[in-house]
Structure 1
Amino acid sequence: MLVNLADILRDASQGNYAVGAFNGYNYETFAGIIEAGTETNTPVILAFGAKYLPNMSLATAFSLAESLGGKCKTPVCLHLDHCSDLDTVFRAIRAGFGSVMYDGSALPLAENVKNTRLVCRTARACGVSVEAELGCLAAGEHSHEGSAADVAAYTEPTQAAQFAAATQVDALAVSIGTVHGLYKAEPNLRLDILAGIHKLVPVPLVLHGGSGLAAKDILGCIDQGIAKINVNTEISVYAVAKTRELLAAKQPHFSELSLSQADYVKDVVKKYIAIFRRR
């Protein structure tokens, strides 16, 4: 069943676990993510980044999510990920997305607050949840969301509390040392900053840059209020590598290749579901 983000994250916060937001951009990724949730009886967030609009339209993304996940007993949230364009955010709300992320983190604080408040008012009237971001992540290896010019800027706890109160967001993405992409070295996670944010901010917190994080680091973040963790790059890297292996071994029919690729996506999603749910 398709749901909004707030209900999923409320349960995660109360249960001291996290829900995975896994990026989808074609049939294979949508199918693998939803099947992983169904087979593990776990809610999943199907994150469709604005970056992937060349792959499919918002309407197509919703139709595919509804077709694959609408009749599932396990909750599925179709979420617009990392979108700085207000028009696209509003179109996603109209298209039926259960959640949208307005990313104004590159803007001056006052403008980020103003735009996020507008998104929240519009989304709430439609029963849609809103995620926003404060701070900035650097780009790691194979990043498909950030750029080499991105510089890490940690989220300041007091500012995060003021932002959450002013905007009334349902979830807040924070920067504590993770990166978009895979890590080039051992990550330096600032759990002290995260603890300060968790103490002051009453809404569920979001960690972007989950690909490649060690289980101990993930669990440490969950203990300090992280209820949603994004995974993108590792799904792509693993699926591409496995596809190369398959093509080197035989020449499958295109339809068989598609089924195999959905299974590759499912492998990574299940791995992270087990960690996020402390299984």
Structure 2
Amino acid sequence: MSLVNMKEMLEHAREGRYAVGHFNVFNIEMLRGAVKAGEKYNSPIILAFAEVFEKLVSIEEFAPAMIAAAETADIPVAVHLDHSKSFEYIKRAVDAGFTSVMIDASDQTFEENVRRTKEVVRFCAPKNVTVEAELGHVAGLEGYEDGYEESADDYTDVREAVQFIRETGADALAVAIGTVHGVYRREPKLNLERLKELRREVPVPLVMHGGSGLSDGDFENAVQNGIAKINIFTDLNIAAKKCLKENCMEEESQYLGYLDLCAKVAEAVCTEVEKKIILFGSAGKR
């Protein structure tokens, strides 16, 4: 139990047709809420940190808290670097004790994506650090602009995915099947046929980014058709903000100390993580 990398937990999820939740955290409230939910439901979880969080706290400052939480948990917990674009930042994460990293060169050519991913795998494999890569285009906020149209080119190509894993040796692959990072402004349409093909042909666990905001049915379909890891961040933010708003607007909030307010936020995050654990089918899979 406790601190692990992602390899074994995701292989078990792939075989068992459930998904492990990846939860981005940047403060103690989010960290505590995620771990508490995992322990309550005996579920493996992935705690993740992204470079964008550096505006609040550096990876070297926050890593000890993440690692301590993982080491003292009675469930398997991976500490993962999400969406890194640079080898230098990945090295910082590994040096800080992270057990898993993601190199995201999906905006580069196929050849450059392969080159950068191979470089990271060569560095991480001897250190028993797992590597996730991405192939295809999962839109960010640019996907909400007027005139944006989803293209077949955005989806992960099956033959390219097979070649990519063969050449890089990556442990997991984030795929584009119609999800979008952030808050959805129109109903997403998942390409489940493409996902089925990827599950059948690609020999490593598949990852879905842009999961926040999908319907329960979308999540269930994605998991049943091959997704073994699902990234969640926006839904945690929404839960935390809603908790803050509700508790700060009530008349009696003037008597609520900041410590108590933080504790309420941790509970709100915990509740949201619990929902995802149940939905992804990872409860009891410790």
TM-score by length of 2: 0.92
Deviations 1:144-166 (A, max 9, x none): xx886998511111111111111
User: What residue in structure 2 maps to residue 121 of structure 1?
Assistant: 122
User: What residue in structure 1 maps to residue 190 of structure 2?
Assistant: 189
Q: Is the 8 A contact 1:136 1:151 kept in 2?
A: no
User: What residue in structure 1 maps to residue 269 of structure 2?
Assistant: 265
Q: Is the 8 A contact 2:44 2:282 kept in 1?
A: no
Distance 1:235 1:278 in 2: 18
Number of residue-to-residue matches in the alignment: 275
- Give the aligned residue type for 2:51: A
User: What residue in structure 2 maps to residue 233 of structure 1?
Assistant: 234
TM-superposed CA distance for 1:72, in Å, is 1.3
The 1:151–1:134 alpha-carbon spacing in structure 2 relative to 1, beyond 3 Å, is farther
Q: Is the 8 A contact 2:20 2:282 kept in 1?
A: no
The 1:217–1:232 alpha-carbon spacing in structure 2 relative to 1, beyond 3 Å, is same
TM-superposed CA distance for 1:40, in Å, is 1.1
Instruction: Give SS of 2:55's match.
Output: coil
Is the deviation greater in 184-193 or in 79-88?
Answer: 184-193
Deviations 1:113-171 (A, max 9, x none): 0110010111111010000001111235xx9xx88699851111111111111101100
1:11-30 map, 5 Å: 11-30=12-31
Matched, 1:274 2:278: yes
TM-superposed CA distance for 1:83, in Å, is 0.6
Instruction: Give SS of 1:197's match.
Output: helix
TM-superposed CA distance for 1:257, in Å, is 1.1
The 1:191–1:232 alpha-carbon spacing in structure 2 relative to 1, beyond 3 Å, is same
Distance 2:63 2:28 in 1: 12
- Give the aligned residue type for 1:157: V
Q: Is the 8 A contact 1:18 1:276 kept in 2?
A: yes
Instruction: Give SS of 1:179's match.
Output: coil
- Give the aligned residue type for 1:22: F
TM-superposed CA distance for 1:41, in Å, is 0.9
Q: Is the 8 A contact 2:82 2:101 kept in 1?
A: yes
User: What residue in structure 2 maps to residue 41 of structure 1?
Assistant: 42
User: What residue in structure 1 maps to residue 6 of structure 2?
Assistant: 5
CA RMSD of aligned residues (A): 1.8
Distance 1:104 1:85 in 2: 9
Q: Is the 8 A contact 1:26 1:55 kept in 2?
A: no
Distance 2:269 2:221 in 1: 25
- For structure 2, which runs of at least 5 residues remain unmatched after alignment? none
Q: Which runs of 4+ in 1 moved over 4 A?
A: 146-152
Instruction: Give SS of 1:186's match.
Output: coil
TM-superposed CA distance for 1:10, in Å, is 1.1
TM-superposed CA distance for 1:66, in Å, is 2.3
User: What residue in structure 2 maps to residue 200 of structure 1?
Assistant: 201
- Identity across matched positions, percent: 39
The 1:38–1:278 alpha-carbon spacing in structure 2 relative to 1, beyond 3 Å, is closer
TM-superposed CA distance for 1:234, in Å, is 1.1
Matched, 1:108 2:112: no
TM-score by length of 1: 0.94
Matched, 1:97 2:94: no
Is the deviation greater in 71-80 or in 150-159?
Answer: 150-159
